[in-house]
Structure 1
Amino acid sequence: MASLGFAVQAQNIQNNPGSNHGNDFEQLGTILPTPNSYRTASGAAGPDYWQQRADYKIKCKLDETATRLTGSETITYFNNSPDPLTYLWLQLDENQHSASNNAGYQKASNLKTTNLKDLDELDRSQSDDSYGVNILSITDATGKKLSYTINKTMMRIDLPATLAPHQQYVFNVNWNYKISDRMRYGGRGGYEYFPGDGNILFTMTQWYPRLCVYSDFQGWQNHQFAGSGEFALTFGNFNVEITVPADHIVGSTGECQNYAQVLNSTRLARWQKAQTSKEPVEIVTLAEATQAEKQKATTTKTWIFKADNVRDFAWTSSRKFVWDALATTVEKKKVMCMSFYGKEAYNLYRKFSTKAVAHTIQSYSKFTIPYPYPVAQSIEAANGMEYPMICFNYGRTEKDGTYTEATKNGMIGVIIHEVGHNFFPMIVNSDERQWTWMDEGLNTFTQYLAEELWDNKFPSRRGPAWAITDYMKLPKNELEPIMTNSENIIQFGPNAYSKPATGLNILRETIMGRKLFDYAYKEYARRWAFKHPTPADLFRTLEDASGEDLDWFWRGWFYGTDPCDISLDSVKGFQIGDGKKVTLPEPKSKTVKLEKPLVPEFDDISKIRNRQDSSIHFLVDADTTLQDFYYKYDRGVIPYDSTFTYQKTDPAAEPLDDSTSKKYAGRYLYELSFTNKGGLVMPVIIEWTYTDGTKETEKIPAQIWRKDEKHFDKVFLKNKAVSSIQLDPLRETADIDVTNNQWPQAKVMGRFEVFKSKQATRGQSQGMNPMQKQ
């Protein structure tokens, strides 16, 4: 029934097909799962809510020369469900790289785009490439062998006896695998080889066999790992021993238990200094990291880490790392913010990374729940991927240490995004394999809020309503609803990241208002922290905590693909009482000149309100150490101009007859006619400009479309004559066609598309840049 429910939820079911009403504003009803004692109609966990737990004790050894990892783990599985279990499902995600045990889902291809990498993949798929997890043994706590079956990227362990409710089971897994070249074969984990110095940077992710989620709403989540759909994971406690070459530096989920043994006295002293420092302290300096690249240790060291109540565990290891750290405080609790990066990223990461980590957990804690973990880390690995307390990001300079503004902003954005994933889904633990948007969309939205607090000129592209319109206007055969399974999405970035984030921002800024939305959003995070929420739990909680009926919005924005395109079709204007026509001035052509380097092309409503809020202080303005070349460049010290023009033509209004009441004599009536051309119902925002130059903005709630979802007329009474009307002046509703939003109609300039060339390494600054030229 759960799987059938998912299929139903992906459709925007209509109650009255073919009618112009009775569809968009009907309640979601049976589209959402029926509330029960596990999940209530309010969106909160019910009195009988339960979830499983899995604790891990792992020992692993990295063979750098052979690029192989060998490990053994003891897993304690707690059956907190009311169900007896006869088997357990584990994920073997590293089988993604196996020629024989991958998910088996193939993608279409053609000769026109086939390149050498594709040929390598085709050749590799025809034979055993030696990649994937090798299971050496699986035994129970007494050492007795257990029966198991590997199905592609999943493994079922058959239990010798039924695991009853509220019992636990202990078993052991021994394994190894060949680590893949991530830069060649892709994927979220592996290694990167640096030919210039002959060293390797390891990003160890999805590296150990781990439990699938068993839940109240679908049983075992054992969908195959095909690459795009990420993970559904169970919370537990981890104790992990990692043996690596003695000159490697290791960053990991959790807190290190033996720094005193693996760090020399100088580095240990720096670590102690970082415990109270508000500026990043280099625990491993650039000079030390550069020197370490020149020779390789022949001995090993074992680093020990402990992490409680986390859903996953990842780590990184390399002798290339510079390592810096500072301490920040979240509700009187210290959090160590750290970064690990090679010399290739030094001029960017040393200045920005660790402070961006601290800024992220502070900002997210404000909008959701206080950050609960003791550590937060950013690792430069030409990547973008997240795990509890650690994430992998990109951002490398050119050889002379300069960088483009796009590289800088991309790096800051990806750090905020990946560190932010600690909250969604590492704490608010949604099922990424089924609903990518529940972690990526919510995280991208909160990332947008954090970017806005980093710098009021930050060029965020995911969050403002105006930035989603190019996607929303695509042909319907190129779109799918947000409520679509992860593996079925074509436009992955816009669908799973941008559109959900934009929808939440529209709720916050335009439909609900900040006060109502922020309270409800925080309540969702509080209710579902360290639990497994579903889409219905989010939808219901936001309505329950705000008192707003938002079913119409979920229907249109999440279950549908219709865009917003509200057209102002006509305007009729009359002055009451004197029978004279209103003479409206002809608008003049004017050229608007904007100072605009790589900053937002539109000053959206969030930026405006944030500047007006005296309680908000932008970090780059307060902390002068963050003010680099582009700080001045963005603020016009080094000018950059762009121009556009438009024409206005004001028609004359028609008079009413003289019988109108003297009470209204001299005042003005305007009848506006609107058409919903896009199909998505949204509020109608009207900016009136009067002949004396003053302006007024009115907002008509989306419910204006209830009785007719296609068209409505509305009459307005004004004290002054109107010279022009603009719909959605701050572009809050993601209207895809602004040419029909004005009266009189304005001449629209043609659009010139600018494309950035693909970079060889993700986040690698290349070519001449303004900083380099300066």
Structure 2
Amino acid sequence: MESRSTTRQGPPSPRGTRRSIGFFPISGKLKALSIAALLLAGLALQADLFAQPGQGKPASAPLPLAPSADGIALASPHASAVSTPSASNAWGGARTGAQATLSDRVVDYQIEATLDPVKHTIDGQQKLRWRNRSAQAVSSVYLHLYLNAFEGEHSTFFTEKRKLDTGFRSGVDTRDGEWGYIELRSMTQNGAKAPWHFVQPDNGPATDRTVVRVDLPQAVAPGAETTLDIRFFDQLPRVIARTGYFGSFHLVGQWFPKIAVLELPGERGATAPRWNAHEFHLNSEFYADFGHYDVKLTVPKEYTVGATGELQGAPQEKNGMLTHHYVQGDVHDFAWTADKHSAQPLTGSWSGPGSPPVAIKVLYPPEYASNAAPALQAAKDSLTYFSRTLGPYPYKTLTVVIPPFNAAEAGGMEYPTFITASSYANLQPKTIPEFGLDFVTIHEFGHGYFYGILASNEFEEPILDEGLNEYWDQRMLRARDQHIHATTPLLKRLGFDPVFKVFEFERMAAPRQDAADPLGQNAWDRLQGVGPVYSRTAITMRDLEARIGSEAMERGFKAYYEQWKFRHPSVADLRETLAEATGQRRIVEQVFAQQVYASANIDDRIGTFTSEEQTPLAGTALVNGKRVEHTADTLEKEEKKVREAWDKAHPDAKPGTGPYPYLTSVVLRRRGAPVPQVLLVKFADGTSERVVWDNEQLWQRYTWSKPVKAVSAELDPDRVHYLDVNKLDDGRTLKADKSAARRWSFDLAAAFQYLLSLIAIV
């Protein structure tokens, strides 16, 4: 029996992301739910591993690739947020439910695969049927071979990893003998060999082999279909970045040749047909056409299997092996798991308005049995919340996988109807482990909507998946009144139990001053990494919600889901849908201009605050036609008499009131982009004044003359602007008062965060 107790433990990150649970800053040393920084390791593969089957070995530098005979170009290697909305008929038009299928199925995969769990290899063959949606003949297609990202340090993935100055996921390195790859053994079209060539669409290293161009023996006419028969072979890596093995556990993702997306004019900003095919970048994920998957998985009979889709009858046994047959339509990917050490699966069911009954299965190892029931409950709660606030869940199954000890890299990832959660040994109430399991399960399920059903381009516009999903997850946690107890069982026993609201933690993680990258930037051309896509998007959307109202925000997102489900929307499509459905176009467009297509600071503050009593002033004046001088001496005597009379008439007067008016003045300063700000001034008698600063000026002065002294001035009293660089400069009091600093105490919580980052969760 393989041991699960080597020294490689590291609790997983959600989503297969670059940070812990969605709200901790990206840092190799600051990881709240994992232990080590990721170390680069391993040796480059021998030259013969670069050989292309049937085509010999490539030169050290690739030969220039001749343009395809059809003239269809590739998407730009620096493509990012689209600014032009898609056409109304993009992707075949809105899916109304009147069509025969949920999506416009472009591809059909029939795959047969056999797992060797000792060598951790997969022998596979597939029929890939693809339909040409364009109005011109297609003579070349592109396939993703994602698994080649892990064949050696020469890939784009590892090249970018070496350049990264912060940690990646749970910090597992790849050692000798642990690399993984995919080989194309053969490929034919209608019986004729189809030659292929490795290409680097994003100008990555010549040794990256994650994209291949296939030159078809027979061009595919407009509207016609073609079938590629492909034999392939996988060597799974030691589990890393969403896929691989540890011991008998196998998480098999991005494991088969997958055709790229041919985008048409009017779709995601395209003006002519183009292939959207990108290398497997360190911080990017995936994008594919919707289709139908019919997959047969053959594994030893003692292995428990879970996969995308619905199991078709009982597995069939032959020669000590079981073949599990799964089918699922209207999805754009397929993943699976197999492990001989799994416990008996925990099952449950869910039903909701507009959705079919959903069979839920939780696969878990014996050492994490305590995780199964909470993960099942979180999955049920997620189905309820997302189906109510976005739209019905359209599938009949949901599989949740809890990775075993030392397989953290398989955790925190989503595929259609199939997600992986986290795993924790000690799930005490109101601790980080408990919250972590809940959050990661909710987070990965949420991707089933933003990544799965809406199916945005995660390479070029990660905001539409990672960012929006992070925001919606936090909305759900907020609705649950579920807060973050940033402690561990040990610290809790010592009395250390700080509690934070979820969006406050997101604010701590987000770069608010000098954010280098627009939210709409692609996944790899980012100075500050992909982490801000999560945190900064979440608080940007939360700020938008605070400005337009929760009801309007939810109405906008329901419209987005209804209009763009199964259609690959762009950032521009999100912008237009929100603007139209919320009825708040000016605000929506301002937010997108400032934060999605740019990265503007929000930094308004109180510059000066005074409130001074206005006593009579010395000088001359005309009184009954005669010039009279009011000297300092006479004014002092007169002021004394007036005050004595007033005090006698007002024996219970509050401090800050008197016979003379007070002139209160507040100067507001702006160091960033303009946003509407509310200024609240409170006075000694309990009254207050509210004004709205809503222009593009760099400063603004407000004054009041009242028979009472002001005591405090506060910008953004309703805490609408979480993007504000510093909330501590939003408030002033005339009398020293530490409560203002305490009011914004979550800004100081970074000290706790650093402490927690050094703690291994037990």
- TM-score norm. by structure 1 comes to 0.70
| Structure-2 residue corresponding to 1:537 | 573
| Structure-2 residue corresponding to 1:203 | 251
Preserved CA contact (<8 Å) 1:9 1:559: no
SS in 2 for 1:337: strand
The equivalent position to 2:381 in structure 1, one of 359, 376, 381, is: 359
Preserved CA contact (<8 Å) 1:524 1:541: yes
1:686-721, Cα deviation, whole Å (9 max, x unpaired): 34434344667x4737xx123x2x112235688976
| Structure-1 residue corresponding to 2:365 | 342
2:302 counterpart letter in structure 1? D
Name structure 1 gaps, 5 residues minimum: 11-30, 194-199, 263-296, 584-649, 657-667, 767-774
| Structure-1 residue corresponding to 2:205 | none
| Structure-2 residue corresponding to 1:725 | 713
| Structure-2 residue corresponding to 1:321 | 342
2:280 counterpart letter in structure 1? F
1:382-405, Cα deviation, whole Å (9 max, x unpaired): 21111000111212215xx86881
- TM-fit CA distance, 1:223: 1.2
Distance 1:4 1:173 in 2: 25
SS in 2 for 1:486: coil
SS in 1 for 2:398: strand
2:244 counterpart letter in structure 1? G
Distance 1:98 1:6, change over 3 A: closer
Distance 2:75 2:254 in 1: 29
The equivalent position to 1:560 in structure 2, one of 598, 603, 618, is: 598
Distance 1:515 1:111 in 2: 41
Preserved CA contact (<8 Å) 1:470 1:736: no
Preserved CA contact (<8 Å) 2:346 2:363: yes
| Structure-2 residue corresponding to 1:513 | 549
SS in 1 for 2:156: coil
Instruction: Tell me if 1:62 matches 2:54.
Output: no
Preserved CA contact (<8 Å) 1:466 1:732: no
SS in 2 for 1:395: coil
Distance 2:688 2:347 in 1: 51
Alignment of 1:221-620 (within 5 A): 221-259=276-314, 299-322=320-343, 323-331=345-353, 333-350=356-373, 352-381=374-403, 382=408, 383-398=411-426, 405-458=431-484, 464=503, 467-468=506-507, 471-474=510-513, 476=514, 479-492=516-529, 494-508=531-545, 510-548=546-584, 549=586, 550-573=588-611
SS in 2 for 1:562: coil
SS in 2 for 1:423: helix
Alignment of 1:756-767 (within 5 A): 756=755, 765-766=761-762
1:206-249, Cα deviation, whole Å (9 max, x unpaired): 01111111112441111111231111111001111111110111
Distance 1:153 1:411 in 2: 32
- TM-fit CA distance, 1:483: 2.0
| Structure-2 residue corresponding to 1:80 | 133
Preserved CA contact (<8 Å) 1:153 1:224: yes
SS in 1 for 2:381: helix
Distance 2:659 2:597 in 1: 44
Distance 1:418 1:111 in 2: 25
- TM-score norm. by structure 2 comes to 0.71
Distance 1:335 1:565 in 2: 47
Distance 1:135 1:425 in 2: 28
Preserved CA contact (<8 Å) 1:56 1:76: yes
Distance 1:112 1:162, change over 3 A: closer
Give the percent of matched residue pairs that are identical in Structure 1 and Structure 2: 22
- TM-fit CA distance, 1:39: 5.9
Instruction: Tell me if 1:681 matches 2:730.
Output: no
Tell which has more relative contact order, 1 or 2 (C-alpha 8 A, sep 6+).
Answer: 2
Distance 1:257 1:759 in 2: 47
SS in 1 for 2:702: strand
- TM-fit CA distance, 1:670: 4.7
How many pairs are equivalent? 601
SS in 2 for 1:133: strand
Distance 1:34 1:253, change over 3 A: closer
Preserved CA contact (<8 Å) 2:84 2:572: yes
Distance 1:653 1:719 in 2: 7
1:512 counterpart letter in structure 2? I
1:247 counterpart letter in structure 2? E
1:712-733, Cα deviation, whole Å (9 max, x unpaired): 2235688976432222234331
1:81 counterpart letter in structure 2? S
| Structure-2 residue corresponding to 1:33 | 84
Distance 2:401 2:507 in 1: 30
Distance 1:461 1:146 in 2: 57
1:235 counterpart letter in structure 2? F
Distance 1:462 1:311, change over 3 A: farther
Instruction: Tell me if 1:190 matches 2:253.
Output: no
Distance 2:316 2:433 in 1: 37
Preserved CA contact (<8 Å) 1:462 1:468: no
SS in 1 for 2:599: coil
1:504 counterpart letter in structure 2? M
Preserved CA contact (<8 Å) 1:466 1:731: no
Preserved CA contact (<8 Å) 1:489 1:495: no
Preserved CA contact (<8 Å) 1:72 1:172: yes
Distance 2:707 2:94 in 1: 46
Distance 1:724 1:466, change over 3 A: farther
1:682 counterpart letter in structure 2? V
Distance 1:518 1:740 in 2: 32
Distance 1:726 1:447, change over 3 A: same
Name structure 2 gaps, 5 residues minimum: 1-71, 97-102, 200-208, 486-498, 618-638, 644-654
- TM-fit CA distance, 1:331: 1.0
SS in 2 for 1:700: strand
Distance 1:316 1:120, change over 3 A: closer
RMSD of Structure 2 on Structure 1 (CA): 4.1
Distance 1:397 1:118 in 2: 19
Distance 1:654 1:671 in 2: 19
Distance 1:670 1:337, change over 3 A: farther
Distance 1:403 1:517, change over 3 A: closer
Instruction: Tell me if 1:705 matches 2:727.
Output: no
SS in 2 for 1:330: coil
Distance 1:169 1:3 in 2: 20
| Structure-1 residue corresponding to 2:41 | none
Distance 1:675 1:433, change over 3 A: same
- TM-fit CA distance, 1:492: 3.3
The equivalent position to 2:184 in structure 1, one of 135, 154, 159, is: 135
